[in-house]
Chain A
Amino acid sequence: MKPLVLTLRARPEQRLDLSPLVPHQLAGKTVDEIMRLALNTTRRGICVGDVFRLRMGEANSIRIEGDGNRLDMVGHEMRDGEIVVDGDVGIQAGRLMSGGRLLISGSAGPWAASGMKGGQLQIAGSVGDRLGGPLAGEMAGMRGGVVLVNGDAGDRAGDRMRRGTIIIEGKAGAHVGSRMIAGTLVVRRAAGALPGYLMRRGTIVLGVGCTEPLPTFVDSGTHDLVAMRLMAAFVSTLSARAAGLFRAPLRRFAGDMAVLGKGEILVANRGG
């Protein structure tokens, strides 16, 4: 399939809202129609043609080239197809996406995968704060799908996460899995302070532990759980390194007892 390629001409003068550049929005559009799509986030109008060179192809496969940490909302509400970004992206990459595949070869800003409902988001670099988290006023964060971060994640990854799986191959910042409602979050290397802060349900797997555990989690002992075999098989399809965490018994901490207390933090007994 010949992809539709958008190449950044130069660093944009303002942050850009790339939410119109998703497969289902571009399907059936002509070159002219695509070039006229508005991307501005300030009062000064900017359309696709002003900042991108376009090489037409199948709308189901979009490639965005250029170093663009000002490229916000990439893959917003994406339903299907594939978007490959060759470089960094800004805030809210993959927000509300419900299907398809979004691959970012660089790093992503905060609120990546915010409110994500399905599909797969892979970030080869690192990601900012509140990965999968809700925006202000929203009740839940990520509600489905799979996120794989090959690098590190900022603070509050998985905040208010309700369903789905997040795998962070590197380190995570403070309050990972804060206010989690359910779902699964895996951090292969060290996590920051207070993981699982106010989590109600859900599973956090830590490869190396954390800098400061919460006192409101209780030690349930070390267990070789059948469910982790299933999880390992699934994770191994995405990250062989993260799957390695599940190959030995895990120490289980139940909490956060300050709230419902039906969540769990599983800690590997060896370094990740």
Chain B
Amino acid sequence: MPLTVRGVRIDDTFAEAFGMRATAVIITADSAQWARQAAVTMTGFGTSVIGCGCEAGIDRELPPRETPDGRPGVRVLLFSVSTGELQKQLQSRVGQCVLTSPGSACYAGLKGEERLKLGNALRYFGDGWQISKRFAGKHYWRVPVMDGEFVCEATTGLTKQAVGGGNLIIMGRSTRATLAASEAAARAIAAVPDVIMPFPGGIARSGSKVGAKYKGMSASTNDAYCPTLRGAVKTALDADIASVLEIVIDGLSPQSVASAMRAGIAAVVRLGPGKGALRIGAGNYGGKLGPHHFHLKELVR
């Protein structure tokens, strides 16, 4: 039985999520603008492990008092399915997008139960002129670059407790109203620590199902939620739904994903069906694939 809260229908369903490996880095720069620029560049093309190798996003911006070098910073989270792939993505993204960004420095953003190479992998760019510094229990590399030095902590933490694939499916009577509700949810989730929404602006319009009619396609359009296919396929949509958007959430722990989904639902409900969404659902695979089940009804309470 769907639940209705302030006119918004909440499906009696759950988001099915998977265990992932995750890491975090703190990027600083001379200004918040350049720290953000490096972070945005690093997390670009990091929407889905299916095609990007990892899912990446900005967790939050950090004021100077919260960064190791006292400059404005940004915390970035990266998620992947294996330690090896995460190491590869971390190294190439920091190497190509942070090392290259003016005035940047990069530090560990997570303690974690294991370590991934950060500066230890990038120091070779210094071609022998890199300088190792160890103090206060930390190890840094100073790599000479054209605007001075790129300072990078030697390693960062890896957690195996991360969760990927938390999600909300937001359904409305128009594209404008559905987008407004999704934006409200994304804003609320952005304030939750230790989570990212890897899709553009936190919102995906092309939710997918597993498999396809074409050979070699591992995922294809989620036809049950495509409003234009209503009547042609077994639809999941009511007659009053004309647009559907999805928010995918990755978090460093199941608790953080649950908090994010709770915040997202609350924001959609707060906006109400008049200006926002009529209904909230979640994607799952029948509960047989992912170990983490986030039931919407429990998150509404």
Q: Please, how many residues of chain B have a CB less than 8 angstroms from a CB on the other chain?
A: 21
Chain A: minimal CB distance from B132 (Å): 7
Q: Is A56 at the interface (CB under 8 A from chain B)?
A: no
> Does A182 lie within 8 Å of B132, measured CB to CB?
yes
Q: Which secondary structure dominates chain B's binding surface?
A: strand
Chain B: minimal CB distance from A236 (Å): 11
Q: Is B291 at the interface (CB under 8 A from chain A)?
A: no
Q: Is A1 at the interface (CB under 8 A from chain B)?
A: no
For B69, the closest partner residue in chain A by CB is A229
Contact with B131, one of A226, A230, A233, A262 (Cβ below 8 angstroms): A262
Residues B118-142 near A (CB distance < 8 A): 128-129, 131-136, 138, 140, 142
> Does B149 lie within 8 Å of A230, measured CB to CB?
no
Chain B: minimal CB distance from A240 (Å): 16
Q: How far is the CA of A264 from the CA of B129 in the complex (A)?
A: 11
Q: How far is the CA of A203 from the CA of B136 in the complex (A)?
A: 16
Given known pairs A163-B134, A230-B140, the reply for A225 and B149 (CB within 8 Å) is yes
Residues B83-136 near A (CB distance < 8 A): 103, 105, 128-129, 131-136
Contact with A165, one of B71, B131, B135, B151 (Cβ below 8 angstroms): B135
Given known pairs A203-B133, A262-B129, the reply for A233 and B140 (CB within 8 Å) is no
Q: How far is the CA of A223 from the CA of B131 in the complex (A)?
A: 16
> Does B135 lie within 8 Å of A227, measured CB to CB?
no
For B128, the closest partner residue in chain A by CB is A262
| B148 contact set on A, CB distance < 8 A | 223-226
Q: Is B68 at the interface (CB under 8 A from chain A)?
A: yes
Chain A: minimal CB distance from B120 (Å): 16
Q: How far is the CA of A231 from the CA of B149 in the complex (A)?
A: 14
Q: How far is the CA of A223 from the CA of B151 in the complex (A)?
A: 14
| A231 contact set on B, CB distance < 8 A | 133, 135
Residues A154-194 near B (CB distance < 8 A): 163, 165, 182, 184
Give the A-B contact count at a CB cut-off of 8 A: 52
Chain A: minimal CB distance from B65 (Å): 11
Residues B59-81 near A (CB distance < 8 A): 68-71
| B135 contact set on A, CB distance < 8 A | 146, 165, 184, 230-231, 234
Q: How far is the CA of A226 from the CA of B30 in the complex (A)?
A: 10
| A146 contact set on B, CB distance < 8 A | 135
Chain B: minimal CB distance from A146 (Å): 8
> Does A226 lie within 8 Å of B69, measured CB to CB?
yes
Q: Is A201 at the interface (CB under 8 A from chain B)?
A: yes
Chain A: minimal CB distance from B126 (Å): 10
Contact with B68, one of A203, A224, A230 (Cβ below 8 angstroms): A230
Contact with B70, one of A184, A223, A233, A234 (Cβ below 8 angstroms): A233
> Does A229 lie within 8 Å of B134, measured CB to CB?
no
Q: How far is the CA of A42 from the CA of B58 in the complex (A)?
A: 67
Chain A: minimal CB distance from B35 (Å): 12
Q: How far is the CA of A237 from the CA of B135 in the complex (A)?
A: 12
For A202, the closest partner residue in chain B by CB is B131
For B134, the closest partner residue in chain A by CB is A163
Q: How far is the CA of A237 from the CA of B134 in the complex (A)?
A: 15
> Does B70 lie within 8 Å of A227, measured CB to CB?
no
| B136 contact set on A, CB distance < 8 A | 233-234, 237
| A224 contact set on B, CB distance < 8 A | 148
| B131 contact set on A, CB distance < 8 A | 201, 203, 227, 262, 264
Interface string of A207-238 (1 = CB under 8 A from B): 00000000000000001111101110110010
| B68 contact set on A, CB distance < 8 A | 230, 233
For A224, the closest partner residue in chain B by CB is B148
Contact with A229, one of B71, B129, B138 (Cβ below 8 angstroms): B71
> Does A227 lie within 8 Å of B142, measured CB to CB?
yes
Q: How far is the CA of A95 from the CA of B68 in the complex (A)?
A: 32
Q: How far is the CA of A57 from the CA of B28 in the complex (A)?
A: 49
| A163 contact set on B, CB distance < 8 A | 134
Residues B149-202 near A (CB distance < 8 A): 149, 151
> Does B149 lie within 8 Å of A226, measured CB to CB?
yes
Q: How far is the CA of A223 from the CA of B149 in the complex (A)?
A: 10
For B133, the closest partner residue in chain A by CB is A227
| B151 contact set on A, CB distance < 8 A | 226-227, 230
> Does B134 lie within 8 Å of A226, measured CB to CB?
no
| B69 contact set on A, CB distance < 8 A | 226, 229-230, 233
For B68, the closest partner residue in chain A by CB is A230
For B153, the closest partner residue in chain A by CB is A230
For B132, the closest partner residue in chain A by CB is A182
The 5 A-B residue pairs with the shortest CB-CB distance, nearest first, are A229-B69, A234-B136, A226-B151, A234-B135, A227-B142
Interface residues of B (CB under 8 A from A): 28, 68-71, 103, 105, 128-129, 131-136, 138, 140, 142, 148-149, 151
Q: Can you list 19 contacts pairing A with B, beta carbon distance less than 8 Å?
A: A165-B135, A184-B135, A201-B131, A203-B133, A225-B149, A226-B71, A226-B105, A227-B131, A227-B133, A227-B140, A227-B149, A230-B138, A230-B140, A231-B135, A233-B68, A233-B69, A234-B136, A237-B136, A262-B129
